[in-house]
Every structure is written in C-alpha cells, then in structure tokens.
C-alpha cells in the first residue's frame, strides 16, 4: 500500500485512545514512557481494526493538541510505529496506518493436546465435543456396508465421493439455493478447505480481511501462507458486523479474500442477520474480493426462539463471489475430518487442483459415513444431541463463571461453542500460563487477534458442564487471584495490561 485512502481526525483518534480499556498498573509495574503508551494505543486500534489500515493519521501537531501532550511525544510515537511497520509516511502526503509484512509478534494457533495426556487437567483449549453416540458407531457400520464397490477402485477422489458431493449439493438446494455436485468439493475438514483456498487465492503478500477477533487456527494458516491480515473490528456485543467499516476496508485495502464466520462466530458467538449478510456480499462484489464464509458452526443454534437467517451464499447462488466452507466437525464429530467447499464449478476445479498436492483426497470410509448419516436422518438426530449437550454446557459454564468471577464480562451467544470473555483487566496470556499450573487449559485472547490484540480476553468453550464446569471456573478464579497478586511469578512482572 503506498497511499492513504481514508482519514482519521485528531479529535476522533483522541476519543478512541481514551476509550481503550486501561487499568491502574499494579505495584511494581513500571509505567511505559508517554510516546510508547501512545504508539501501543494506536497499534492496538489498528490491530483490533478500530482504525482501518491505510487511514491517514492526523498531523503530529494536531494530535499533540488533541491529546494535550508535546509534539515530541507524538513524533516519537509515530517513529516507533514506522519502525514496527504500522505506519508509512511520505513527505507531502502525511502518514497512514499499515500492517507489517512479517509477524512482528509471535502468534500462534490453538494446540490441541492428545486426550490421553491431559490427566486431571480440565481442557478448555478446543471447542469440540465428544461424538454423539450411537450415531458415530452406526454411521461407520453403515459406511462399511457400502464400502465394497469402492474397494475395487484406486480410492483417490480429489473432489470427493460423487455420492457425498451430490448429497451436500442437495442440502443447499433444499435450503432454496440451487446447487449442483460440480459446485462441491469434499475436503479434510474446514481446515483442508481453507488451506486449498489460501493456496489458490492468497499467495505470499496478498491481503486477507479478517474479523477481529477471528478463529485462531485459520488466522495462523493464513499467516503461514504468507498473507497480510487486515483486521476489521467486530462491533461491540453480539451485533457483529459493522457494514460501513467492512465497506471501507474492502474498498481501501482491496484484499484478495475476506474471511468471515457469519454463523455463531468463533470466538464471539455473534450471528450475522440478513442485512449484514447481503451487505457483506455486496461490498465484496463491488471490491472484487472473494468472500469466504465459514459455516462450521451453522448447525449449532442453541436457543430455538432465535431465527436462523439464510446462508450467505443465498445472496450469491452462482458462487463466484462467495465461497462457502462447511464442516462435520462441530455438528457431528471433529474426528471425522470431513469438510467441504461450495463455489462456482470453475472455482471448484481450480481448488481441486490446488488441494491435490496436499492430501490427494479425503478418506473414503469417513465420506461414506457422513453420506450415510445425511441420507438416513441420523445427521439430524446427531445434531439434536450435540445441540442439547452444548446448550447444557453453555448454561452451566455461564452460571459458574458469573458466580466465581463476577467482574469478568461476556455476552451469552444464542449458538456456537464459545464464550468470549473480558477478564476484568487481567492479562489473558498470564491467565493461560498460570491456568496450566492450576489445572485448567484455556487459550488467551491474542491467539484470536492479529499480532497481539485482545490481551484482556480468554475464550471459554462449551465443552464441559455440570460439576466440571464449576471446577473449571474455580480453577480459573484461582489463576486470576495468582495473576492479580503476582504470587505466581515471585517477580515484578506486569499483572495487568494497559491496552
Ligand atoms: C470457525 C471454524 N472454522 C474451522 C474450524 C476447524 O474445522 P475442522 O475441524 O472442520 O477443520 C473450526 C474449529 O474450531 C472453527 O471453529
């Protein structure tokens, strides 16, 4: 990006900086110099998508007046941001926000531990539930009965088994979105789908617009593909997608792809309404951006009074702007590793070529099992079990966290598998670290942000219920006390964060 495409005024920036969450530093915490605090404040606004990329910042003098600090402080903050890749400047054109080409801060996806190694640890690390039996066993038995004709073939189906492609296409058609099997590719989970999509569309240095926060493992996959992530802030609460902001980012940063989780967003649980869906598609179409919509959570409606809007691809049924990614992992079982993409036939053909060198295809037996479930009504039964489990766990977890950690804040989502929790000013990274020692694994907020955003958050999944949820909240409260008092380190390391 060589030039700015929008502007943020001095008064507006001063307002945004002052509304950032800031907590008194604990005893022993050193206060950063004023220029550093200002640079960090602006960096966080960019990383959370609250100030867009390619937005012109006010002149140093104007910002100094608005913030009542010296011009030298603003100049030093801008210089620090330039060095770190968050600001570009040209004489006569001013300074505008940017995202660094590399990863200035270490960022990580989620790291599931093998269940056998967990011992007495309560694992809140992954948002995936055990298989909804007896449907796993039945589906595999059903698949075995249908395996014989495939045993005589070489077994490689890079686009997926024809029977499952047809079944998945029929499911979209039944929802009022006419779909042919040529519009479907079966993948190894949603991750496999995203890998092929990144391979095809997002080469090194390409920009990808992402919700901020977003799903940690996909962010990591995109980083590893060499993409530059352009964050777009989620609106506060569960209202989710701020259309003017999305329109501006897609127009100004012209990303090759925009990646959204419109159904029970991971991690916030937000659900996009019809207007937001239509607006996102229109904005992507006008900007020439491919809109990748991840429907992994779409079946997990937990409150029946909430009405599910139509899938986003209803606003682009041909699938030339919208690529839909689906998965059996949340609705059924992550151990199946079955996902899919719906798009225009020519896009599917290119994706099939793009994935061939990764895994050649998805295991036949698991495809047959999902096909069996979807053609016998077992899928709906299994989803029913899954929803009931997730609902019960959500309610237990919400109650336990409210009781044990009354100053932690969150909105209770109507579906999905995750609670996005503001930790009352405590560092999410420290909580995760100390949590491991007191027997609870929890991912910190920054894993769901771009390069360091969301230090004051953790994500809690609806994977435990009843007394385990109580125990998990008690262990989190113990971790919080240790982080708060600094007793966990015995050093004067910062215990609170100042955003
Ligand atoms: C939004 C989202 N996308 C993708 C995935 C990964 O899906 P899969 O197991 O199908 O690869 C997850 C899992 O948590 C998810 O929440």
pLDDT in tens, 207-219: 999 999 999 999 9
Q: Identify the band that residue 29 occupies on the pLDDT scale cut at 50, 70 and 90.
A: low
Beta bridge partners of 56: 7, 96
109-123, 289-303, 426-440: which range is least confident on average?
109-123
Q: Identify the band that residue 203 occupies on the pLDDT scale cut at 50, 70 and 90.
A: confident
Alpha helices in 288-324 (DSSP H): none
How many angstroms separate the alpha carbon of residue 295 from the centre of ligand 1? 9
Give the rounded distance of the alpha carbon of 35 from its chain centre: 31
On the question of pLDDT at 296 being above 60, the answer is yes
Q: Whose CA is nearest to atom 15 of ligand 1?
A: 296
The helix/strand/coil state of 87 is strand
Q: Which tokens is 460 given?
A: 């809690």
On the question of pLDDT at 495 being above 50, the answer is no
Per-residue pLDDT tens for 320-341?
999 999 999 999 999 999 999 9
pLDDT of residue 205: 85
Across 60-76, average pLDDT: 95
How many angstroms separate the alpha carbon of residue 111 from the centre of ligand 1? 13
How many angstroms separate the alpha carbon of residue 359 from the centre of ligand 1? 18
Q: Which tokens is 219 given?
A: 């962010």
Distances (CA, A) of 143 to 209, 267, 366: 39, 34, 8
Q: Which tokens is 178 given?
A: 């006419």
Residue with tokens 């505008």: 96
How many angstroms separate the alpha carbon of residue 158 from the centre of ligand 1? 20
Per-residue pLDDT tens for 374-391?
999 999 999 999 999 999
Q: Identify the band that residue 496 occupies on the pLDDT scale cut at 50, 70 and 90.
A: very low
Nearest 5°: CA angle at 62, between 57 and 67? 95
Please give, one letter per residue, the 3-state secondary structure of 432-493: HHHHHHHCEECCEHHHHCCCCCCCCEEEEECCCCHHHHHHHHHHHHHHHHHHHHCCCCCCCC
Instruction: Please report the atom of ligand 1 found closest to the CA of residue 128.
Output: 14
**pLDDT greater at residue 487 or residue 438:** 438
pLDDT of residue 101: 65
On the question of pLDDT at 306 being above 60, the answer is yes
How many angstroms separate the alpha carbon of residue 190 from the centre of ligand 1? 6
Q: Identify the band that residue 7 occupies on the pLDDT scale cut at 50, 70 and 90.
A: confident
Beta bridge partners of 341: 185, 325
**Cβ neighbours of residue 211 closer than 8 Å, sequence gap 6 or more:** 49, 231, 232, 234, 241, 259, 260, 261, 265
Q: Which of 55, 57, 72 is nearest to 11 (CA)?
A: 57
pLDDT of residue 98: 84
Q: Identify the band that residue 404 occupies on the pLDDT scale cut at 50, 70 and 90.
A: very high
Give the rounded distance of the alpha carbon of 463 from its chain centre: 18
How many angstroms separate the alpha carbon of residue 149 from the centre of ligand 1? 31
Nearest 5°: CA angle at 378, between 375 and 381? 140
Q: Look over the chain and give the mean of its residue pLDDT values, rounded to a whole number.
A: 90
**pLDDT greater at residue 487 or residue 424:** 424
The preferred substitution site among 296, 328, 370, 416 for testing ligand 1, maximizing ligand atoms within 8 Å of CB, is 296
Distances (CA, A) of 94 to 61, 63, 73, 134, 498: 12, 13, 17, 64, 28
Across 270-276, average pLDDT: 97
Ligand 1 lining (C-beta closer than 6 Å): 127, 189-191, 215, 218, 261, 266, 294, 296-297, 327, 329, 334, 339
Are β-strands 6-7 and 55-56 bridged in parallel, bridged antiparallel, or unpaired? parallel
pLDDT of residue 492: 36
On the question of pLDDT at 127 being above 60, the answer is yes
Residue 493 CB coordination number (10 Å): 14
Do the beta carbons of residue 405 and residue 473 sit within 8 Å?
A: yes
């Amino acid at each position: 990006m060589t030039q700015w495409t929008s502007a943020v005024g001095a008064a507006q920036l001063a307002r945004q900086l002052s509304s950032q969450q800031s907590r008194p530093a604990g005893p022993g915490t050193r206060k950063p110099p004023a220029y550093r605090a200002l640079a960090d404040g602006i960096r966080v606004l960019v990383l959370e998508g609250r100030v867009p990329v390619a937005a012109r910042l006010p002149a140093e003098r104007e910002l100094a007046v608005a913030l009542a600090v010296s011009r030298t402080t603003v100049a030093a903050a801008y210089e620090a941001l330039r060095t770190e890749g968050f600001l570009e400047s040209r004489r006569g054109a001013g300074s505008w926000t940017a995202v660094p080409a590399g990863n200035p801060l270490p960022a990580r996806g989620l790291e599931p531990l093998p269940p056998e190694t967990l011992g007495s640890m309560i694992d809140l690390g992954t948002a995936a539930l055990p298989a909804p039996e007896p449907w796993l066993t039945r589906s595999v038995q059903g698949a075995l009965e249908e395996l014989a004709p495939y045993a005589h073939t070489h077994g490689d189906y890079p686009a997926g088994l024809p029977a499952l492609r047809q079944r998945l296409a029929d499911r979209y058609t039944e929802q009022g979105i006419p779909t042919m099997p040529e519009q479907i590719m079966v993948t190894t989970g949603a991750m496999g789908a995203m890998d092929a999509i990144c391979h095809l569309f997002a080469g090194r240095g390409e920009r990808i617009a992402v919700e901020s926060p977003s799903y940690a493992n996909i962010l990591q996959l995109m980083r590893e593909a060499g993409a530059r992530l352009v964050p777009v802030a989620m609106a506060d609460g569960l209202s989710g997608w701020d259309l003017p902001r999305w329109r501006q980012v897609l127009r100004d940063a012209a990303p090759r792809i925009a990646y959204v989780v419109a159904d029970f967003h991971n991690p916030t649980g937000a659900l996009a309404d019809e207007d937001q869906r239509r607006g996102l598609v229109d904005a992507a179409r006008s900007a020439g951006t491919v809109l990748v919509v991840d429907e992994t959570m779409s079946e997990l409606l937990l409150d029946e009074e909430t009405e599910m809007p139509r899938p986003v691809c209803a606003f682009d049924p041909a699938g030339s702007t919208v690529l839909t990614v689906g998965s059996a992992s949340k609705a059924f079982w992550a151990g199946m590793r079955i996902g899919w993409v719906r798009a225009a036939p020519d896009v599917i053909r290119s994706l099939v070529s793009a994935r061939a060198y990764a895994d050649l295809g998805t295991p036949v037996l698991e495809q047959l099992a999902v096909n069996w479930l979807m053609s016998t009504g077992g899928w709906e039964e299994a989803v029913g079990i899954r929803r009931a489990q997730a609902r019960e766990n959500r309610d237990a977890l919400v109650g336990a966290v409210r009781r044990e950690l009354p100053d932690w804040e969150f909105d209770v989502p109507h579906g999905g598998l995750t609670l996005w929790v503001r930790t009352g000013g405590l560092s999410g990274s420290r909580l995760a670290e100390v949590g491991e020692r007191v027997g609870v694994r929890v991912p910190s907020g920054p894993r769901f942000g771009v390069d360091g955003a969301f230090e004051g958050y953790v994500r809690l999944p609806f994977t435990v219920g009843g007394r385990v949820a109580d125990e998990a909240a008690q262990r989190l409260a113990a971790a919080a006390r240790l982080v708060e008092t600094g007793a966990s380190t015995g050093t004067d390391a910062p215990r609170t964060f100042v955003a």
